Amino acid sequence: MLEIEVKNLDTHTVLRPRGDIDAYTVAQFRERIGELAMEPRLLIDLGSVPFMDSAGLGALIGGIRRIRDSDGEVVVACGEGALARLLHTTGFDRIVPVAETPEEALTSLLDTDSPEAL
| pLDDT (0 to 100) of residue 113 | 45
What residue type is 80 in one-letter code?
Answer: E
Count of other CB atoms within 10 angstroms of residue 58: 13
| pLDDT (0 to 100) of residue 22 | 96
The pTM of the full predicted model, rounded to 2 decimals, is 0.90
| pLDDT (0 to 100) of residue 80 | 85
| pLDDT (0 to 100) of residue 118 | 54
* Run means of pLDDT, 10 residues per run, the chain, 118 residues: 95 97 97 96 96 95 95 93 90 92 92 52
| pLDDT (0 to 100) of residue 72 | 94
| pLDDT (0 to 100) of residue 21 | 96
Backbone phi, psi, residue 19, to 5°: 125, 180
Q: Kindly report each contact of residues 67-72 with a partner whose C-beta sits within 8 Å and lies 24 or more positions away, as own/partner.
A: 67/36, 67/37, 67/39, 67/42, 69/37, 70/37, 70/38, 71/40, 72/37, 72/38, 72/39, 72/40, 72/41, 72/42
**83 and 91 Cβ atoms separated by less than 8 Å:** no
| pLDDT (0 to 100) of residue 62 | 95
